[in-house]
Structure 1
Amino acid sequence: MTDAPAHAAVKEHQQHPIGLYLLVWGLLFVLSAFSYMVDYVGLQGYLRWSLILLFMMLKAGLIVAVFMHMAWERLALIYAILLPPLLVLVFVALMVSESRYVLFSRLTFFGAAP
């Protein structure tokens, strides 16, 4: 008796139910409707932009998790995709705080422009 060669092993392919995709499409539609309602209602200021950004991030998260199959990927691949943008945001925050310090230093030592 010989074992079957390793290359002849049958790989199982996981099929996701179509209901999951339909549910996500429905959620994307509802989140888009909420995003449009923010403008229709006429909200202004920080509340408007906060809601628009919240709905945008929720929609992007759903798309990445389900349609790009990140919900079923290995943790290392998830970190490879999600960690760099997160680090870019941290560096942007550091640069903003540094720019405020530079402006403060320039105004302190050189004075305001006439």
Structure 2
Amino acid sequence: MENSIKHGFPANGSLHIVLTTSLASERSVLISIKDNGPGIEKTGLASLNRRFRESDYAPADDQTRESIGLGNINERLKLFYGENYAIRLNSLEGEYAETIVTIPCGNGEDDNHV
């Protein structure tokens, strides 16, 4: 939610944030935070998702430095729940940005959540 507020205010100045939770399977919960902000351009989106999967957070540029908060959350999720539980981002530039977190619930992990 912090990133939506920090980066998501659209040109019209009216930010809408939607938080959704749902069962992804019998053993995992999907949490989505979606805003109507400017979104993320395709190259940056692909880079961020790769970094979340691979845990690559070397601060090489300003964009990397700005995403360190999500990187920290991503690492905590992986430490608690395993490597399969990385943050995922969806976005359409000029339309929205969405952060998706899947976490296990119940007894055991679900490897089919992605």
Does TM-score exceed 0.5, indicating one fold?
no
The structure that has the greater radius of gyration is 1
* Structure with larger RCO (C-alpha < 8 A, sep 6+): 2
TM range (shorter): under 0.3
Under a length normalisation based on structure 1, what TM-score does the superposition of the two structures give?
0.25
